[in-house]
Amino acid sequence: MKSLFSLLCALACLTLVTCASGNSDIPAFTKQVDVFGIRIYATVTAPDERLLHAANVLAEFLDNDEDGIPDNPLVMEALLEKKAVLIMTKDSGEEWEAIHDDLHYVFPDGVYHDQFANETIPNAIEQGIFDGCWEETLHLITRLGYGNAYPAVFGLTSGTEIAAAVDLARGGHFEDVPDKYPEEAWYTYYDETCRYGCQINEYVYWALTSILGAQDIPGRLEQIGEEWPLNTREKLKEGDPAIYALLTDSKYKFPTVLPDGDYRAKEFMIVEKLFEIKVQEENYFPPEGRYPATVGFITECQAPGGEAVKIAFTISDEHKYGGRSLSLTTSIQLTLESELFKVLSQINPELKKLESIDGIDLTSVEGSSVWLTTEPIIGETGSVFPKIVKIESRD
């Protein structure tokens, strides 16, 4: 039985997704739209029309001829393989500040990109203003889609074709943002938090949106000129032929028409979902040790990338950290043949009598006694979280 519990741990990793409503003070993604298998999650404060606009723009970038089929299957495959996610909050204020440090535990390996509702502008073309949705949806597509579909060409690392182009545009190879760019540079982004890969992705955005006409609106050049002066197709073709050639090469199937937020091939629908983001301090206990615990609940739920099973544990009262909780979510399907089901049936032998998974009562394993062994995970922001590395029965 111990080996089965250990196998469960190998199949699962710590996540902060929950599958039931809870404290309303905790920021939560409550809405979802599916675009060719890419999910967009939004909080309740993000207006529905902004969420749907983002879905339409994303779809138009991927299916630029709007025939209902993504234009570049390799890019689409890469996005789905990486389980790319777009997330939307109202703005970059308190709600975003409360959750963004912990998002890489909910959506691991940098698969998400943020899109704020207040920068998402429906009917921007008609109004002659810039739509921030053009930038953020494109960042997701180029970073996770093109960067993985064509790693030698569009990979966001030194040595790729796109890296050679960005080095030329910045006047040299700079892993970190220089104090001052060379005089010959025409791409001069000074945000020190944007490292080399980020600089490449921003560069692709500037170049492609300039080709599509997004940067050629009244007053736009005055806003962006110090960072990016090549704001039209003609300026880019003459001033940066390297990136122009890459982005207009038909074999890569980059979009040729700027999205207007009116995707003709499909009408997207909002589905109600709930993902709570638990702040570390709310549920924290020392991240390394061996703790007596009980199974709080096991439930099937929706998680990024598909269906999942969540298992929650509560530290037993006899321990000095009694009452604190920890959970993990498996990404495997719960079937009679799955290793997860073997673990559950060891906890409750009655489950072995089932002929169909439809009859499983997940609540039957609640209250079972286990030992949890944890080790620390250090997040990108320096936050430390406990990770379950072993589960042993105490019965």
CATH code of 360's domain:
2.40.50
pLDDT at 139 over 60: yes
**CB of 29 closer than 8 Å to CB of 71:** no
**Residues ≥6 apart with Cβ < 8 Å to 94:** none
Is residue 174 domain-shared with residue 42, that is, in the same domain? yes
Structural domain that includes position 308:
2-20+285-393
Could you report the per-residue pLDDT of 68-104, keeping only the tens digit for each? 999 999 999 999 998 899 999 999 998 888 888 767 6
**Residues ≥6 apart with Cβ < 8 Å to 131:** 57, 120, 121, 122, 124, 125, 214, 261
Is residue 299 domain-shared with residue 196, that is, in the same domain? no
**CB of 64 closer than 8 Å to CB of 36:** no
Distance CA 29, CA 116 (A): 13
Whether residue 86 lies inside any domain: the answer is yes
Q: What percent of the chain has pLDDT over 70?
A: 82
Is residue 78 domain-shared with residue 211, that is, in the same domain? yes
- The count of domains in the chain is 2
Whether residue 191 lies inside any domain: the answer is yes
**CB of 341 closer than 8 Å to CB of 273:** no
Whether residue 297 lies inside any domain: the answer is yes
Closest CA to 81 of 305, 324, 303: 305
Is residue 190 domain-shared with residue 312, that is, in the same domain? no
State the pLDDT at residue 16.
Answer: 34
pLDDT at 350 over 90: no
Is residue 247 domain-shared with residue 293, that is, in the same domain? no
**CB of 371 closer than 8 Å to CB of 394:** yes
Is residue 14 domain-shared with residue 75, that is, in the same domain? no
Task: Name the pTM for this structure.
Answer: 0.68
Distance CA 323, CA 16 (A): 18
